[in-house]
Amino acid sequence: MKKFLLAVIMVLFIMAIPAFGQTWHTADQKTVGWDAVTTNTNGGIIPTDQISYTVYLYNAVTDPNHLNAVTLGSTVETQYLITLGVEGRYFWGVKSVRTIEGDVVGESAIIWTSLPEYDFGIQFYFAPMEPGGLN
C-alpha cells in the first residue's frame, strides 16, 4: 500500500511540474497593462490625477535578481508599449507613484512579472535570414 501511495504522489508531482513553468510571450513589441491604483496603503481613496506609473525591464538570464533593471518610462495610463531590440528573455515591472502639486509624496514597490502569482515574461529573438544558394 505504501508503494502505491508513493507512486501516486510521484505521478501527481511530475504532472504538476509544468504548472510551475514560466510563460514566455515572443514579440518585439508588447503592450502591457495593470490595474489602476485607487487607494493608499491605509485604504484611503486617492484621486486618479495623483497617480502615475513607472515601468521597468530586466533581463531574466543576465540579471536574474533584477539588480540592473532599466527604467523604460512613466505614464499616467494603465498600459505601456514595450519595444525590444536586444535578443533575450525579459521580465517587466511597474510601480505606482503619487504626486501632489508636483512633489512625489510616495512610491510603491515594483511589482515584477517574475513573481510567482504572475510568472510570465517577454522574449525577443531576431528571425534567421532566408536560405540562399537555391539550386
Q: Which fold has domain 23-124?
A: Immunoglobulin-like (2.60.40)
pLDDT in tens, 52-92: 999 999 999 999 999 999 999 999 999 999 999 999 999 99
Q: Which residues pair with 45 in a beta bridge?
A: 39
Question: Per this entry, what is the length of the chain?
Answer: 135
Measured CA to CA, the distance from residue 109 to residue 116 in angstroms comes to 16
Half-sphere exposure of 2 (CA within 13 A, CB side): 0
pLDDT in tens, 85-125: 999 999 999 999 999 999 999 999 999 999 999 999 999 99
pTM: 0.80
Integer CA distances (angstroms), 23 to 7, 90, 110, in order:
29, 11, 20
